[in-house]
Structure 1
Amino acid sequence: MNDQNKGFQKEEAPKTAQGAQGVTSPWKRLLAKKWVFPATYMAAAAIILTLMWVYQDTGKKIVSQDELGIKVSSNEKGTDSSKAPDNSMAVSAHAETMQWPVKDKTQVTVSIPFYDTSATNEVKQAAMIQYNDQLTPHTAVDLKTKDGAAFDVLAALSGKVTAVDQSPVVGSLVEITHTNGLVTVYQSLADVKVIKGADVKKGDVIAKAGRNDFEKEDGVHLHFEVRQGIDGAAVNPETILNEKQQ
């Protein structure tokens, strides 16, 4: 019995079960480790977050280009729109011609002409202004109506008002600087309608003709002067206007 029992014990299954455990696969051993599942979870979470960031970045690029139109406005539309206004403004500035500073030139006459050194002696004498016993060459043209009535004074060219002043000698004056480098000066004014710094267009009413002490004998009139720059030499307005009309 003892021998049989011993033989039976040698054939017991526990040893066989332990042997089966000895041949367990490496994957099962790896999964049996406590750190495997946390590490796998962290790796999966990292992959998911990365995919989400990539998706979000891609979505932002699509919105900025398609919906906001960044590329179109900066490279295509922006370039074309910025050039077109500049070019059109330049063309319009060069194409704009000077007009008489009145609504109807036929309603006024040149009462005092511009003093031109190349003119006849008769014209030169007519263009001399006597003020305080002194003779001064007239650097403008004076315009007045036949009946001496007041009339609207218009901007001869588009530009910016660079001076509005009141002088006891020349009266109220307005100075307008233009993009072509010319400056027009309007003196002997009344009821001035513009202020310094204002932008005016050709033909805008800037004042009415009035009186001044420098040309007192001329009555109600407009002293219209054209200069080559603010401190530049005066030029004959009629010469410029006659060239534009040809």
Structure 2
Amino acid sequence: MREEEKQTSGQSKWKQLTKKRWFYPAVYLASAAVILTSVFWMQDNALEEAQDAQNEDFSVNDPMFDEDAVEVTNSTEHFVMPAREDVAVIVAKDFYEASASQEEQEEALVMHNNTYYPNTGVDLATENGESFEVLAALSGTVTRAEKDDLFGNVVEVDHGEGVETYYHSLSEVQVQEGDTVKQSDVIGSAGQNEFNQESGVHLHFEVRKDGEPINPLSVIDKELAVLVESGMNKEDESVPEEQSSEEDADNREENEDSASEPADEESSNEEDQQEENEEELFEEQDENSDASSSDDERDEEEEDPDQ
């Protein structure tokens, strides 16, 4: 009996508890808390597993991290001579300047197959004619490294912003296309080529901006940024020239129109004068015909009385 009473009393207490207003909201809140806690726990475990997987794929001991980092071309880098400081190089043939004197221009010509070509760079050599190591004038990426039948072994390096340096007439090359070089890295040795045999063992060194050759000696010890800014200024200056050429064309058209107006007036005056002359000629012919007809009538009247 006592056990039955305990059961009935427990059930009655549970029913009383469920009838409370706060019971079901409390149950809902507790269930929501349990569910959110489970979700957060699962997300944390998933993130930890993903991080562990990344750490396994990109280990610090991976061979790819063993290579030394190569600094890209810095705009504050200064152009340097493509030869060591302890090597005394001379200019065997200078850059062809359009503004130079006639004598200087003649000295900057390269003769090949009985034809003269303007030198688009400078030819550097030693006084004793020996070969020397050729260095990169700036940091950059090698875009060409190959044997050329006319210019010998050639290496071309891109420095960004449209700036390139050319190294021709090399006897040997120590870089490959796609290599990244630092300033003053050895890229080859000076040699001979078929195009300019007159200079002997030499390095043909060029600096180009947007494909246009620039006198290399004019940029030595100058920052790369200076050359880039000078190229931008030239582009800005070219706009007024185009505008002025358009204005000149408009002025020429106006002058042609103004010059054609008097000519049109003169031609119209000549036509009017010609028409007047033709009218006068027709009038004179009419008068002459009238006069001749009156003379014929008089002759006929004179003949009638005799008859």
Paired with 1:217 and 1:239, the residues of 2 have a C-alpha distance of 24
Which protein has the bigger helix share? 2
Paired with 1:241 and 1:50, the residues of 2 have a C-alpha distance of 72
Q: Whose radius of gyration is greater, 1 or 2?
A: 2
The one-letter amino acid of 1:53's match is S
The within-5 A match list for 1:139-218 is: 139-218=120-199
Paired with 1:164 and 1:193, the residues of 2 have a C-alpha distance of 9
The within-5 A match list for 1:82-93 is: 93=74
**1:133 is aligned to 2:110:** no
Paired with 1:29 and 1:156, the residues of 2 have a C-alpha distance of 94
Pairing partner for 1:238 from 208, 211, 217 = 217
Which protein has the bigger strand share? 1
% identity of equivalent residues: 36
How large is the RMSD of aligned CA atoms in angstroms?
A: 3.4
- What's the counterpart of residue 56 of structure 1? 41
Unmatched segments (≥5 aa) in structure 2: 16-26, 53-70, 224-307
Query: TM-score normalised to the size of structure 2?
Result: 0.53
Unmatched segments (≥5 aa) in structure 1: 1-16, 32-42, 69-88
Deviation, 1:59, is: 5.5
Deviation, 1:56, is: 2.3
CA deviations on 1:151-188 (whole Å, 9 max, x unpaired) are 00000000000011211111110000002421100000
CA deviations on 1:84-111 (whole Å, 9 max, x unpaired) are xxxxx78x71111111100127600001
- What's the counterpart of residue 254 of structure 2? none
Paired with 1:51 and 1:121, the residues of 2 have a C-alpha distance of 89
> Do the aligned partners of residues 61 and 125 (structure 1) sit closer, same or farther apart at CA in structure 2, a change above 3 Å counting?
same
Deviation, 1:123, is: 1.2
**1:112 is aligned to 2:93:** yes
CA contact (8 A) 2:108 2:119 kept: yes
CA contact (8 A) 2:87 2:132 kept: no
After the TM superposition, which parts of structure 1 deviate over 2 Å for at least 4 consecutive aligned residues?
Answer: 28-31, 46-52, 54-64
- What's the counterpart of residue 209 of structure 2? 228
Query: TM-score normalised to the size of structure 1?
Result: 0.65
Deviation, 1:50, is: 3.8
Pairing partner for 1:27 from 11, 29, 36 = 11
